[in-house]
Amino acid sequence: MRVVIMGCGRLGSMLAGELDAEGHHVTVIDIDQAAFNWLGDGFSGTRVVGPGEDSAIQEVAGVKHADVFLALANGDNRNAMAVQVAKHIHGAPRVVARIYDPDRAEVYQQLGINVVNPTTILDQMVREAAFATSPESDAPSSDGDGV
C-alpha cells in the first residue's frame, strides 16, 4: 500500500519504519528536516520537508495516489486540517488523525474522520495499570499519596 505519514516524531517515525520494513511504499512529511533523524538507517521510503497540511506539499508527497494518509504531527488543528485536505482535495480514500484533545476528537469524529485520541486511550491504560486487580499488582487503596 502507499502510505503518507505527516509528522516524523516518535510515533510517525516508528510507524514509518515498521510499514517500510513490511514492504509498504512509505512517504514521510515533516516541517523540520532534523526530524528525519528519528528514522532508522534502513528506511527506504521518501522524505518530504514542509508543512503537511499544505495542499502543494501533499501533492509533492503523492497523497493523490496514496491509499492511506496519517496525520501524526503534534498540533491537533494542523492534523485535522491535513486529513481534510488529503481527503477532500486529493481524494485520499482513508485518513487517520491523531487528536490529543478529547473534545476536538469528538468534533472530528462527527465530521466523519478516523480519529485516534491518545488521551482517552492513555487514561484507560493508566487506570488499569494503577487500579486493576491482578495477582502481581496491589489492590486499590484509599490511603495513597493523593498526588
How many secondary structure helices (H) and strands (E) does the chain include? 5, 6
**Is residue 89 a contact residue for other proteins (CB under 8 A)?**
yes
Q: Is 75 in the site for other proteins (CB under 8 A)?
A: yes
Site membership for other proteins, residue 77 (CB under 8 A): yes
Which of 103, 118, 91, 108 minimizes the C-alpha distance to 7?
A: 118
Contact of 79 with 103, CB cutoff 8 Å: no
Is 111 near other proteins (CB under 8 A)? yes
The verdict on 60 binding other proteins (CB under 8 A) reads no
| DSSP symbols for 99-139 | ---HHHHHHHHHTT-EEE-HHHHHHHHHHHHHH---TTSPP
Query: Least distance from C-beta 1 to other proteins, angstroms?
Result: 25
108 binds other proteins (CB under 8 A): yes
Binding of other proteins by 54 (CB under 8 A): yes
**Residue 76 touches other proteins, criterion: CB under 8 A:** yes
DSSP character at residue 140? P
Q: Which is nearer to other proteins, 59 or 67 (CB)?
A: 59
**For residue 144, what is its C-alpha cell?**
495513597
Torsion angles phi and psi, residue 28, rounded to 5: -115, 135
Of 41, 103, 143, 145, the residue at the interface with other proteins (CB under 8 A) is 103
For residue 106, the minimal CB distance to other proteins (Å) is 8
Contacts to other proteins by CB under 8 A: 53-56, 75-78, 80-82, 84-85, 88-89, 101, 103-104, 107-108, 110-111
